[in-house]
Each structure stands twice: as structure tokens, then as C-alpha cells.
Chains A and B, each alone.
Chain A
Amino acid sequence: MTNHWIDIQHSDVILIMGSNPASNHPIAFKWITKAVEKGAKIVCVDPRFTQSAAKAHLYAPLRSGTDIAFLGGMIKYIFDNKLYFKEYVQYYTNASFLVNPDFRLPGDNKGVFSGLTGTKYDKATWSYQTDAAGVIKKDPSMTDPRCVFQLLKKHYSRYTMEMVNKITGTPVAKLEEVYKLYGSTGKPDKSGNELYAMGWTQHTVGVQNIRTMAIIQLLLGNMGIPGGGVAAMRGEANVQGSTDQGLLFHIWPGYIGTPRGSNPTLKSFMEARTPQTKEVKSLNWPKNTPKYIASFLRSMYGMNTTLEEAFSYLPRLDDGVDYSWLTLFDQMYKEKFTGFFAWGMNPANSGASSNKVRQAMTKLDWMVNVNLYDNETGSFWRSPGFDPTQVKTEVFMLPCASSIEKEGSISNSGRWMQWRYKAVNPVGISLPDGDIMAELYFKLKALYEKEGGPNKEAITKLSWNYGKFDSKGHYHLDVHAIAKEINGTFLADKVVENPATKEKMPFKKGQQVPSFAFLQDDGSTSSGDWVYCGSYTDAGNMSARRGKADPTGLGLFPQWAWSWPVNRRIIYNGASVHPETGKPWNPALALIKWDGTKWTGDVPDGVGDPGSGRGPFIMKPDGVASLFGPGLVDGPFPEHYEPMECPVEKNLMSPQFNNPVVKRWEKKGVGTDTDVDSIASCDPRFPFICSTYRVTEHWQTGLQTRWVPWLAEMQPGMFVEISEELAKERGFTNGELVTVKTSRGELDAVAIVTPRMKPFNIDGNTIHMVGIPWHFGWATTAARNYNANDKKPEVFTTGDAANLLTPYAGDPNTMIPESKAFMANVVKKGVK
């Protein structure tokens, strides 16, 4: 989230689209309600009439997978009615930049952008015109037909309400109502916030869904202001933090792109990761990346090696190769791995096309599964339809401590890092995850020291000063030592110039680094994750703070816990003020303001002194936000493409049916060449759109909540929501058992016949949609076999994972699977 939960109270209009906070982030609704009490309006756009829709002033249905069409129409409406915030757009976005004359829009280029060859774009034309010095040419009047503003206007001129209606099924009158209401937030003293979650990410156009909204927010001047923002409501208590800490193939902690084979030396790696700019007034904060890389290497190997050696020890990826989730399980299916950790995860249920994932696990020699409860992954060898005596995989199921049986921090969606304390000892002899890692590390270190092995120093020279051994030889992890390592420490006496005040400041070896502005590229500082530098300083553990002061009166609570970066509560807040005067666009909600000599309020983001001309989006090399976004692999502007599986035979917007750069696992020789990778679009066997979602009472795969009797009792099993119209057409009755099928799998569910689902009118055709929750799994059902030493739920649940049905297809930027829009059939149980 660019803003934070409490800030939602300041919104004038809240758009809930791609999420359902009333069910899935229930306490967030406290702040939505607060906004409504102050006069705000809620707009909910969703294929289903959700609990959030029930609380909205305005609800509009749309066919799942057509969000770009819906929002593209809004962009057109904003242009047509001049609802954009002109000064904001001029000063704070790249609207005035002149684009390469050879760049072509999809409307002039058969539905694709210029540069497409096969399934990959050459992005050479997705660039700007520059002068002799390399500075981007601009037209501040934003009237040049090649400027971003005019290209954006032209691109979305195709998204007429009539066209949008035919694609989305949303009635034209509803479209207009939504566009008008949300467009009203383009006034300088109005704010609009958008709340999204997996409803937007889990599509093959997932990133572009969010980009479309980012464009709207920039046009309306809604970024960096109280009540504004694009709120990614994350699905797990610490999925923000786990991403910040680099638990993904493509990033080191702090979002530093992992090294590739083409980065042979530390210097070449630093250069490749450090963006340059010719824009003289741009701060280009990422120019500091070498300091963060050097400090990260020190956090890994301490002073045990040189920086260059440390860099050489760490693994590098091949250029252009993807190592993400879908690739990982495809490789597993193809017997490329012998070993596998499913650490605090349940991929047998959470992985798209779960039949593929479950089969893939049978190809492993060994698996380590660390969890609180028995689950479908650790016990995959006895999945429904499996014969354990035929499964070779050796499995270790290690019990870990729960969140109240250890201490440490987690980071919420609003980037608040909050400390949790240990209340009781772990159950039985279970251990905190960190303790298990430490025990494993020392065993591995001893093994490599004794027996040797390839690149063994990469293991034996890791610094690991995070605790001590007891008399019995057990290692006791000191979580505070790791938290301090993540923050960063001076490894030598050093005088550093404060970049803000230019004051020379002496630091002693062993002192904590006060903020990332003080990190160094010469190896004199460590920092495990520069974004968290400032979280654990010589003043103590910032994330444990409980101060309730609220000096701005805006609910920022700057002394409660700690917010990355640098305790800033609303990022991009430099865009909340006029660039010349420093006066807040909305004086009634002054997030930061210039008092004549300095900024007051939130920790200012990116702003120079008023009138300095520095763009506030300092993480962008050119200092402004990107209406034109050439960084993505599938286009600098979002364009509507159909989901991989959809009920329509053509894309009404263009001759290009699907996102052209999506990886096609179903093609021969790419995936497994079996049903688990199949795609069945416009296939009469699978006539209904199906989508997946959550209920309040369960969490994720249900691994932790299905074993909780109170919760299992409240939501006891798999269901499928079916419209009254479809029920009538197919003869389904409320409460009967039905089977939901796709070309990849099937599962049984209880039919819920409900007016929450309504058929869509898509270009004159009636299209039905059904919906299923995804939390259930066979391991907690009554029907399965329980051995004498098996844990057995007090309250059984019914049904298996929704992901048995979902397609093996992902967004080309993120590779997040398309779990929100696919095609299914529903039949009465027992009917073929």
C-alpha cells in the first residue's frame, strides 16, 4: 500500500475493485466505515455481489477478466470531461514527455504495440525523444500529438462506453455512474483510493490491471495524498515483509534484482542495477544501489571475505530465464529436482493446477515440510487417488512454533513493521522456524568443513552471529541480532556526511546505521535489507514502539511501530503539495507542508525545497510518475486482452485475442503435454466462467484455519455459488452436491443458489458465472483414511482445493497464475 489502513478514513470515494475487504480484510472496513461517516462514497465493482458490494453506495457487475476494458473506459471519460488534475499531471507525471515517433499504439497496429516478434516485444520504440545531451524532450502544454498525454488520450479513445459494455457486460448507465463518481476525485481537494487484492493480480493481464488504475490515480492527482493511493491489500500477515526480505527468485532483500550470468564482476553487477538519468533536476535515488548491494554482501559474509569474493559465492541466474513458481513446479514434474523445501507453505493446494503440483512431488527424492499442522503437501503421498506404496519421496514434517510462541516482527500492508512477543513456549518439542534454520545451518557448515564440496566457502564463510550454543549443543537464536543485521551496522569507524544537512557525522565500529542515507559502498557498513535501515537503531527496536502521538491529526501515528521506508507513513507524499509553493493541494488534510525553512508533517518523500523543480517520484530515474510505462514486458499502456480461458470467441477491441507475450504451457513440448496444463477456451464442455475467492473464516489454503474447530464449524466446506437463473436452467437445487469441472480437474461442492451471482449480457449473449472459495483440502475431511498416529480434526471440513481446477498460466511480468477467470462446467454429483 502506498498509504496505510487508517488513512482510508480520509477518502472521498473508495473504489473496491479486485478485492472484497468486507470478507477478507474485515477490520479494514472499520476505516472504510469511518470515511463513509464523514461523507465518503463506496463504489464496488465485482463479478459477484460480495459483502463489500452490500455495503457500497454504488455496485457495478463486470465479467471476470475485463477490468482493463472497464477502467480504460474510465480514462476516456476523464479525458472527455476534463476531470484530470492538470497541474498534478503536468508537474508530477511523464505526460509531457515526447515519445519515439516510431512507437505504435495497438489501435494502429492490429491490437499490439510496436516491436512484437513472436511472443516477445523488442522495446526499442517504447522510448522518448531526446536532445543532443540525452535529455528527454517535453511539451509542457501537453498538446504535441507525440507526447504521453496525447498518446494516452488517443489509446483510450477506443474504449467507448458501448464497447466497454459489450466486453464487460456492465450496463452503460452503471459505467457512467461509476466513472462520474470516481472522476469527481480529480479536484485538488478531493481524494479517491482504490483497494485491490488477488482479484487484480491473478490474471494474465494482472500487472496491467493495476497499471490502469495507477494511470487513473495519477490523472486525478490521487497519489501521495491523504485518502489516495493504490492499496494492494496483501493476503498474509507478513507477505509484505517476506517480499521485502527477498524470498523470490528475482530479488535480493530490498528489491535488488538478483545477479545474472552476464554480471561477471561486482562492478558490472552494480552498474547493471543502478539506473542513470540525464534529467538534471531528478534526484534518482536508485543511484545509491551500489551502497545497498555492498551492505547486503557484508550482511551475508561479514568481514569473512572481500566484497568481490562474497559476490562470487552467491548464485547467479541465466539471462532471460524465469525461475518462478510455475517454472519451478514444471521443472519438478520433469524430475529436475531431487530435494524440495515447502517451508510454511502448502503448495499442494495453493499451486495452480494442483494435480500437476501433487504429481510433481512424487518425482522428488526428499521433501522438508515445516508447518503447524498436518497438511496436503507434507502428506501429498497419500493424496486422493495416490498409492503411497508407489511414491518414492522421503518426507520430513517438522513442527514449528506459532506466532505467539516466539518473537519477531511482521510488516502489514501499510508497511508497518510491528514486533510480536513470545507469550508461551512452543507446543511439544516444536521449534521456531529460525531455530530450525540455525540448527540446519550449523550441521551443513560442519559437513562442508569436514567433507568439502563445490563452492563450499559460500556456506562455511556465511556470517552467523545470531545466538549461541547451549551446554547440550543446541543453538539458541537471538532474533534481535538478526533484526539488527537487517537494519545494518558500521563495521569500521567512519565519518559520513549527512546527505540532508551536509554535516559530517562520525560513527564508531559497531554502531547501528541510523538510516539508509548513511550506508556505504566500500564495505564499511552492513545492511541485510536497506529498505529496513532505520528500523533497529542505537535508539532501539523501532518496530516495538507504542507511542500514540498524532501530531498531524491525520492518524499517521509516527511513534507507533515503524514504517518503511524511513518511518514514512504515506509514500510519494511530495506529490501532495504544490511544487512552487509547498502548499498542500488540500489544506484541510496537510500531510506535509513547508514552514518557510523546512518540511513538517510526515517524513517528506523526495521533495526538494519548494520551487527546486525536483520531481517527487525519486525512485523513478526521471523523477516523475509513469503514465507511459515502458518497463513492463507487455506494453507501456494497458490494453484489453481476453483471459486464456473465456466465453467469447473474439476480442471486440482488436484482432489480438490474448496477451501476446503470455507463456503458453499448454503448447506441445512446453509443459507436461497432459491435461494438467490444458487450456479450454470457448469449449462447449466448459460453458461457465469460474472464479475463486475467500471467506472470512478461513485463511489461504485453510491449512491453519481448517484445524481450528470454531472456524471449521462456521465454514464447514467447499461450495459453489450459482445464480438462480443458471440453477433453473440446469435444475440445480440449493444445498445439493454438485461437481465442478475444468479440463484440468474436478471437485465436489455444495451448490449455493444465490442472487449474488447474476448472468452477464456479453454482446447480446447470456453468459453464466460460478464462484468457489479456495480454502478447502482433503486432509481435514472425514472421508479420508486416518492412521492411528494421525492428527484428526475435531470438526471435519468437506471438499478439496479450488486450485485443482485453475489454469497453469500466468501474468508475463509476475508469473502470478490466472486463478480469477477460467472456464468450468457444473454437473449434479454422479453425472458424467
Chain B
Amino acid sequence: MDVSRRGFLKLSGATLAASGLGISLSPAKANAQALKTLYTKESLTVCPYCSVGCGIIVSVRDGKVINTEGDPDHPINQGTLCPKGGSIYQMANNKNRLDKPRYRAPYATEWKEVEWEWALEKIAHNIKKSRDASFKARNAKGELVNRTEGIASVGSAAMDNEECWLYQKLLRGLGLVYIEHQARI
């Protein structure tokens, strides 16, 4: 019988259900410890590290990632992962992830936690000040250039396509020309 791994999971579930019918399955039961992914919601993702593009299944229970593993249906990795791909469980469950915006004032020696609204408002004012002060409508030759020379940006291949596209829209709308990212290095 040709049973894919996912088919096998369904079959083993059926076996557990069948045990209610009075058929003795005690040896099988002894081995069939409930999978830790039982009663989880599966979500599909692609590894965030190298560019092979391996499929990963993220199992979630009560809003918490409880398991990550290679997607056996994915045609590239066929369920396998390398150590990095295998570790995204610890990306999801990591007490050292930044959880609030932080701010370091000029000459300060440490971070302080701040609210989004305060940070974004201040950043927007900073951008406007830097942009307006450095804005160049025309270059030395008198050509129209409409650019902002006082702000630069690097990033990011770590973002999704849609975010990358939106980012270039925001930056080019502001007139930035110093737009670079990982592909250059």
C-alpha cells in the first residue's frame, strides 16, 4: 500500500477511533502515544533563511506555536529541513524577541521602551525635517531631479515581496535615491 505520511496520519487516527468498537488493540495503543500536534491548527510557511524555499508546517494550539516541521508535500524539501529551518520553533517562542518599540535618546546609555504612536510620530517629524532640509529639486546642471539627499535606506531581503514593493513606494515617494539592501553585498 502506498501511504504518504499525511495519509498515514489519517489512517492512524482512524485506528484510534476504531478502538472504541471493542477490538483489542492494546499493543498498538501502547505505542500510539498521542502526537503532540494533535488538536492543532496547521499553518503553512516557507523557511525565512536561505533561498531554497523549503516548505514548513507550523502547528498552533491556543495561539501558540507548539511544533514546526518540514512539509512532506512540498516538492523541493519533501519534508526535510536543515538545522536553521528546523529551528524556527525557537524563532516563534523566544523571550528575546523585541516586543515593544525602543528609543535611545542622543547621548543616552540605554534603551527605553516607548509607545508606537509616540515613536512613529517622532520618526515622521524627523523624516520631514531631514527631507525638507536636504531636498534638491534641480541638480548642478539645472536638471529636474526632485530628490532627497539627506536620508538613506538599507533593507530588506528579509521582508515579503509585498512589503519590499511597498517600501520602495514609500522611499521613492519621499524622494530617496540612496536605496540599497542585501543584494548589493
Contact = CB atoms under 8 A, between A and B. Distances in A.
A482 B162 contact: yes
Given A398-B101, A443-B120, A459-B173, A236 B182 contact: yes
B104 interface: yes
Interface stretch (A41-49, A365-373, A615-623): A365-373
A404 B84 contact: no
Contacts of B184: 248, 324-325, 814-816
A121 interface: no
B16 interface: no
A699 B64 contact: no
Nearest to A1: B51
B157 A239 contact: yes
A467 B121 CA distance: 20
B166 interface: yes
B43 A548 contact: no
B53 A344 contact: no
Interface stretch (B22-30, B31-39, B129-137): B129-137
A337 to B, nearest CB: 5
A529 to B, nearest CB: 6
Contact of A395 (B103, B128, B172): B103
A249 B127 contact: no
A518 interface: no
A394 B165 contact: no
Contact of B185 (A24, A243, A325, A441): A325
Interface in B136-185: 137, 139, 141, 143-185
Contacts, number: 497
B8 interface: no
A406 B92 CA distance: 12
A529 B97 CA distance: 33
Contacts of A458: 146, 173-175
Contacts of A483: 161-162
A413 B128 contact: no
A708 B94 contact: yes
Contacts of B46: 237, 403, 410, 412, 418, 420
Contacts of A443: 120-121, 124
25 contacts: A25-B51, A30-B80, A241-B164, A314-B172, A332-B152, A366-B123, A368-B123, A370-B155, A394-B126, A398-B98, A398-B119, A399-B97, A404-B91, A421-B43, A423-B45, A423-B58, A424-B92, A436-B120, A440-B127, A447-B124, A455-B135, A529-B165, A704-B49, A789-B113, A819-B185
B45 A420 contact: yes
Interface string B99-125: 111111111111111001001111111
Contacts of A252: 168, 172
A315 interface: yes
Given A26-B52, A27-B80, 7 more contacts: A318-B139, A340-B154, A394-B103, A412-B76, A417-B161, A698-B84, A791-B96
Given A242-B183, A410-B53, A793 B84 contact: no
A785 B179 CA distance: 33
Interface residues of A, number: 171
Contacts of A397: 98, 101-104, 111
Interface in A487-508: none
A424 B67 CA distance: 12
Contact of B101 (A237, A396, A408): A396
Contacts of A546: 73
B175 A455 contact: yes
Interface in B42-61: 43-55, 58, 60
Contact of A708 (B87, B99, B172): B87
In order of increasing CB-CB distance, the 10 nearest A-B pairs are A428-B99, A344-B156, A408-B160, A412-B53, A343-B155, A399-B98, A261-B143, A423-B43, A315-B147, A239-B157
A27 B167 contact: no
A233 interface: yes
B45 A421 contact: yes
Contacts of B126: 339, 365-366, 394
Nearest to A780: B96
B20 interface: no
A711 B83 contact: yes
Contacts of B125: 447
